[in-house]
Structure 1
Amino acid sequence: MKKQIFLSIAIAGVLVLSACNNSTAPEAGSNEILVETSVGNVTEAEFLERLQEKHGEQVLTEIVQAKIIEAKAKEMGITDEEIDAELERMKADFENDEQFLMTIQMQLGVNSIEEFRENFVPAQIVFTRLQTAGVEISEEEIREYYEENLEEFSEVEARHILVEDEETANDIIAKINAGEDFAELAKEHSIDTGSGAKGGDLGYFSKGMMVAPFEEAAFSLDIGEISEPVESQFGFHIIEVTGQQEFSYEDVKDRIQNRLAQQQAKTTQEIEKELFGEANIKVHDSRYKTLFDR
Structure 2
Amino acid sequence: MKKYILTSIISSITMLSACSNESNSLESEENTEELIVATSSGDISEKEFNRALRDQHGENVLQSMVLDKIIESEAKRLEIGDTEIEEEINFLKDNIGATNDEQFFEMMKMQGISGEDDLNKRVINHLVMQHHIGDIGEVNDVELLKEYERGEEVEARHILVEDLEKAEEVHLKLADGVDFGELAQEYSIDPASREDGGHIGSFRRGTMSPPFEGTAFYLDVNEVSEPVQSQFGFHIIEVLNRTPFEDDFEEVKEQLRSAYNDRKLHRMNEKQQELLETVDIEVFDEQFEDLFEQ
- Give TM-score, length-normalised by structure 2: 0.45
Bigger-Rg structure (1/2): 1
Give the TM-score normalised by structure 1.
Answer: 0.45
